[in-house]
Amino acid sequence: MIYAPSTIKLSVLFFLLSFTINAQDWCASRTTNPSPWVELTATPVTAITIPVVVHNVYYDDAQRLTETQIQSQIAVLNEDFRSANADLDQVINWYQNKIADMEINFVLADQDPLGNPHSGIIFSPTSIDGIGNDFTNGRRNLCYDDLGGSSAWCTDCYLNIWVADLDFSGVAGIGIFPTEIASGEVPRAEDGVYIQYDRFGRGGTATAPYDLGRTCTHEIGHYLNLLHLWGNVTPPSNCNPGTCCPDPVYDDLVADTEKQVWTYAGLCPSGFQDSCPGNGGPDNYQNFMGFVEDACAVMFTQGQKDRVWNALQTYRPGLLNPDCIEQCVVGTKTPQQVNNLFKLIYSLHGELMLEALTPDLDWGLYNVLGQEVASWRSELAGGFTQWVPIAVEGMHFLVAQKDGARQVRKVLL
Ligand SMILES: [Zn+2]
């Protein structure tokens, strides 16, 4: 489910032939430093709902999806992450009592960070062929308006999903690990998941046998800190179980998925399969975090749920915070929100007319990614005009702070 053809029109035969060659590339997600084994049980109090923004960055008509196609993917996520998928009944006996309801719902955002009504879907034409694998000064063009892609909405608060031509041999999807954001390996503006356009949604324009939306389920698993069943490094196809099974590198750091060093890439096994005999139990090849065909990946485990909820609390607390979008200014969150520090009189084209209601204010202006665009200080109370050098007109966040109190206001510039 995790590899994509490098050209659009490929036969099923080619799928079958190619996976043995490129199996290691089917999912390009990686974390060089996975967070450790999770022993704690972080059972959620109640299910959360994550607002989703889909950026469909298309080069030609084949890459432009319909809203129906996009909505079908959201439906798949709500089945898979709530153990409500109809194909759960195929889970083999060993894993039936390990199936987890992840207690995570997904909904297309119904408003943008400014509070305006929005469909949660951004259709963004691009002139860059294969934009998903294009970079400018280390930045992935796909994730930036000014590089031909589509800029993320506040990545603390929204799950940003880019659907485009990833143009990366054999890759169907990439999910950014929360540890990659925490370590700075990946810029915050690129946080989210990227899905090959013909692997997105159920039916419709998606290409069989990867037409049930499981690529996105898998990549969001990475986004929530899940590793592949065999761990961070894909075992070689000729891996000798006697050598590979004891090797600690081949492990997903989840206790209830048994040791597995076969990827079953592009296959759809059935029954009892065990790549590491004598290591506890059979392979959980039916897990979403493997490489089997869409129809054969059907479950998460309780152990994975614990790992995901620990990751939410540790790395992605914004997704647990219902007020996140209101406070969506990265790096300036303080506990005390006030509304008596300033008044905004007027804002347009980089000009701000402001009234400071108190002396000695520290000001900051941030774009929707939470990046500081400008900062200044006002010493006196009263009205003044501030010019700011904005790169892109549109929504920004104006912040004034004094003595630990903070006022935030969305402004259009
Ligand atoms: Zn993967």
Instruction: Please give the distance, rounded to the nearest whole angstrom, from the Cα atom of residue 289 to the centre of ligand 1.
Output: 6
Quick: pLDDT tens for 272-329: 999 999 888 999 999 999 999 999 999 999 999 999 999 999 999 999 988 888 777 5
Whether 2 maps to a domain, the answer reads no
Question: What is the reported pLDDT for 225?
Answer: 97
| Token output for 340 | 């008596």
Query: How far separated are the first and last CA of the chain, in Å rounded?
Result: 43
Binned at pLDDT 50, 70 and 90, residue 35 comes out as: low
- Residues marked active site are found at 219
CATH, residue 129: 3.40.390.10
Does the pLDDT value for residue 1 go beyond 70?
no
Does the pLDDT value for residue 252 go beyond 80?
yes
List the one residue out of 218, 275, 267, 221 whose CA is nearest residue 244: 275
- Give the pTM: 0.76
Dihedral angle, C-alpha 190, 315, 372, 382, nearest 10 °: 150
* Domains identified in the chain, total number: 2
Final residue belonging to a domain, choices 275, 290, 320: 320
190 and 254 in a single domain? The answer is: yes
Instruction: Please give the distance, rounded to the nearest whole angstrom, from the Cα atom of residue 215 to the centre of ligand 1.
Output: 8
Q: Tell me which residue has tokens 């700075």.
A: 184
Question: What is the reported pLDDT for 43?
Answer: 60
**Which residues are bridge partners to 104 per DSSP?**
48
Binned at pLDDT 50, 70 and 90, residue 42 comes out as: low
Instruction: Please give the distance, rounded to the nearest whole angstrom, from the Cα atom of residue 218 to the centre of ligand 1.
Output: 6
Range of the domain at 344: 336-412
What would you report as the CA-atom Rg of the chain, rounded to the nearest whole angstrom?
23
Instruction: Please give the distance, rounded to the nearest whole angstrom, from the Cα atom of residue 38 to the centre of ligand 1.
Output: 19
Final residue belonging to a domain, choices 273, 292, 320: 320
CA distance 150 to 126: 9
| Token output for 132 | 């998903």
Q: Is the pLDDT higher at 121 or at 344?
A: 121
Instruction: Please give the distance, rounded to the nearest whole angstrom, from the Cα atom of residue 388 to the centre of ligand 1.
Output: 42
